[in-house]
C-alpha cells in the first residue's frame, strides 16, 4: 500500500468528523453536534454523531491504514472501506431492511457515513445475556439467500459476474482470513492465543493429520471458489438486533468466495454461544431452554435459507443446467457439507487463534473456560472431519448438543 494510494487521507478525530458530515445537510446545525469515538472492533474508528436538538444521528466509520487490534506494525489497505460501502449498497438492492443505510462514501478518507443503529444491540452481547430474538433466523436466512443468490452465477450473466468479481477483489482482507481462520490455528504459530491448560489439546490438534488434510480442502475452497459476493466475516459481532429488527453490518471482508462460508461462520458463532451458556446461564432449566433456542436458530436459518434460495433458483435461475434434475439437490448437498466444515474452522480459530469471542473469553472461572474451550476444539475438529457424514441440518445440531453435554 504506497503513499499515493493514501493521498489526502488522514485519521478523523472528534473535531474533524464535522467536515465529513457538514456537506451532507443532514443536521440543522453542525456546530451543535455531540461526537464520540465508540469503535470497539479490531480494525476501524467508529464515530457516533448526535444532534441533541433534533435527535438526529449518524455513524461515521473510518478505516485506519493498519489493524487497530495489533497496531501500526500491521498495515492494512484502506480499500476495505470502499469494499464495505459497496457491499452494503449491493445488499440494500435486495434486502434494504437488513443492512444499515449508507448515506455517503468518502474514498479519500476511507470512510462511510451510515445510519445510526444505537437502538440495536450487537447480537453476540444479546446472546451472552440469554436474549431470544424471534426473527433472527428468518432475517439472516433472507439476508443470506437474497445476497448470495443475486450475486452468483445462478442469477448474473457470466460477464456481469466477472465484473463483480473484479470490483470486489479484496486480497489483504482475504489473507487475514486465510491465515487466521484456515492456517495459523492448525500450526504452532505466534498469532495463536490460548491458555496454558489447553496446551495438550492444542498439540493433539496440530498433530492430527486427518484434520489438517480436511482443513486444507476447506482453505482451498476459500482461496479459489468465487461463487458469490460473501460478507466474509458473518459472526455474531457483525449483526445488530432488536426484538424485531436485524441489521448485518461490517462487510469489509466481502469478496467473491464460497456461499457456505457466511452460513458456516454464523452457525459456528451460535455453537460457541451454546457452549458458553454452561457458564452464563447457571440455572439448568433456563440454560437448556436457551441452548435449544440456539439450535432452533441454526435449523430454522438453514430451512428458510434453503426454501428461499430454492424459490429464487426456480423463478430467477439463469443457467440452463439449473433445470436439470438433481443439480439443485447436488448443490445443497455440497453446500451443507461445506457449511459444516467452515463452521468447524471458525469454532477452532475463535478458540485458539488470534481473534477470540467474548462468549468464552468472558468466563471468569478459568477451569470452566478451559473445559468449554476444550469442547470447542473437539466440536470444531469433528465438524471438519465428519462433515461428509453430517448430511442433514439436524445432524449439525445433534453434534453440537452431543459434544457440549458429553
Ligand atoms: C486482525 S482482524 C481479526 C479478526 O477480526 C475481524 O472481525 C475478522 O474476524 C478477523 O479475522
Ligand atoms: Mg468487523
| pLDDT tens, position by position, 161-219 | 999 999 999 999 999 999 999 999 999 999 999 999 999 999 999 999 999 999 999 99
Per-chain residues with Cβ under 5 A from ion ligand 2: 41, 250
Residue with CA nearest ligand 1 atom 6 = 42
| H or E stretch covering 144 | helix 136-150
CB 61 within 8 A of CB 114: yes
The pLDDT tens digits of the residues spanning 326-379 come to 999 999 999 999 999 999 999 999 999 999 999 999 999 999 999 999 999 999
Residue 70 banded pLDDT, cuts 50, 70, 90 = confident
**Ligand 1 pocket check for 346: Cβ under 6 Å:** no
Grid coordinates representing 359?
Answer: 462468549
Distance 355 CA to ligand 1 centre (A): 6
Distance 173 CA to ligand 1 centre (A): 9
Burial 107-124 (b: 16+ CB within 10 A, else e): eebbbbbbbbbeebbbbb
Measure the CA angle with vertex 192, ends 178 and 279; round to 5°. 110
Distance 250 CA to ligand 2 centre (A): 5
CA dist 332 and 385 (Å) reads 19
Residue 69 predicted with pLDDT over 80: no
Which atom of ligand 1 lies closest to the CA of 70?
A: 1
Distance 113 CA to ligand 2 centre (A): 16
Our measurement of the distance from residue 399's CA atom to the centroid of its chain's CA atoms, rounded to an integer in Å, reads: 22
Q: Which ligand is nearest to the CA of 172?
A: 1
Grid coordinates representing 217?
Answer: 480442502
Q: Which ligand is nearest to the CA of 67?
A: 1
What separation in angstroms does the CA of 53 have from each of 29, 57, 382?
9, 11, 55
pLDDT score at 29: 97
Q: Which ligand is nearest to the CA of 356?
A: 1
Grid coordinates representing 198?
Answer: 489447553
Q: How far apart are the first and last CA of the chain?
A: 49
Residue with CA nearest ligand 1 atom 11 = 177
pLDDT over 70 percentage in the chain: 99
pLDDT score at 43: 84
**Ligand 1 pocket check for 42: Cβ under 6 Å:** yes
**Ligand 1 pocket check for 178: Cβ under 6 Å:** no
Residue 5 banded pLDDT, cuts 50, 70, 90 = low
Burial 374-406 (b: 16+ CB within 10 A, else e): bbbbbbbbbbbbebeebeebeebbebbbebbee
Residue to probe by mutation, ligand 1, list 180, 181, 266, 361, most atoms within 8 Å of CB? 180
Distance 40 CA to ligand 2 centre (A): 10
Amino acid at each position: 500500500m504506497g503513499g499515493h494510494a493514501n493521498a489526502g487521507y488522514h485519521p478523523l478525530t472528534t473535531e474533524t468528523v464535522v467536515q465529513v458530515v457538514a456537506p451532507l445537510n443532514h443536521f440543522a446545525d453542525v456546530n451543535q453536534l455531540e461526537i464520540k469515538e465508540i469503535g470497539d472492533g479490531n480494525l476501524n474508528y467508529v464515530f457516533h454523531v448526535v444532534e441533541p436538538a433534533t435527535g438526529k444521528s449518524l455513524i461515521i466509520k473510518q478505516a485506519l491504514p493498519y489493524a487497530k487490534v495489533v497496531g501500526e506494525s500491521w498495515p492494512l489497505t484502506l480499500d476495505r472501506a470502499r469494499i464495505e460501502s459497496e457491499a452494503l449498497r449491493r445488499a440494500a438492492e435486495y434486502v434494504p431492511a437488513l443492512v444499515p443505510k449508507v448515506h455517503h462514501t468518502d474514498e479519500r478518507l476511507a470512510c462511510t457515513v451510515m445510519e445510526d443503529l444505537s437502538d440495536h444491540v450487537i447480537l453476540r452481547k444479546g446472546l451472552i445475556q440469554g436474549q431470544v430474538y424471534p426473527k433472527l433466523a428468518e432475517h439472516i436466512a433472507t439476508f443470506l439467500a437474497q445476497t448470495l443468490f443475486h450475486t452468483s452465477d445462478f442469477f448474473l450473466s457470466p460477464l456481469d459476474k466477472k465484473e463483480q468479481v473484479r470490483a470486489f477483489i479484496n486480497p489483504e482482507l482475504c489473507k487475514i482470513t486465510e491465515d487466521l481462520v484456515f492456517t495459523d490455528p492448525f500450526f504452532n504459530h505466534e498469532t495463536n492465543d490460548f491458555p496454558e491448560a489447553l496446551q495438550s489439546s492444542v498439540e493433539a490438534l496440530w498433530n492430527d493429520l486427518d484434520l489438517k488434510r480436511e482443513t486444507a480442502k476447506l482453505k482451498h475452497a476459500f482461496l479459489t471458489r468465487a461463487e458469490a459476493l460473501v460478507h466474509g466475516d458473518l459472526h455474531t459481532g457483525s449483526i445488530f438486533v432488536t426484538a424485531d429488527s436485524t441489521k448485518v453490518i461490517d462487510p469489509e471482508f466481502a469478496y467473491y468466495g464460497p456461499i457456505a462460508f457466511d452460513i458456516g461462520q454464523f452457525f459456528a458463532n451460535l455453537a460457541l454461544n451454546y457452549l458458553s451458556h454452561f457458564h452464563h446461564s447457571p440455572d439448568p432449566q433456563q440454560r437448556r431452554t436457551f441452548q435449544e433456542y440456539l439450535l432452533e436458530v441454526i435449523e430454522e436459518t438453514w430451512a428458510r435459507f434453503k426454501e428461499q434460495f430454492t424459490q429464487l433458483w426456480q423463478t430467477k435461475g439463469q443457467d440452463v443446467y439449473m433445470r436439470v434434475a438433481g443439480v439443485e439437490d447436488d448443490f445443497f448437498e455440497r453446500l451443507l457439507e461445506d457449511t459444516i466444515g467452515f463452521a468447524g474452522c471458525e469454532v477452532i480459530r475463535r478458540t485458539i487463534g488470534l481473534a477470540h469471542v467474548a462468549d468464552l473469553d468472558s468466563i471468569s472461572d478459568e477451569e470452566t473456560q478451559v473445559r468449554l474451550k476444550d469442547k470447542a476444539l473437539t466440536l470444531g475438529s469433528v465438524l471438519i472431519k465428519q462433515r461428509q457424514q453430517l448430511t442433514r441440518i439436524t445432524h449439525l445440531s445433534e453434534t453440537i448438543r452431543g459434544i457440549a453435554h458429553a
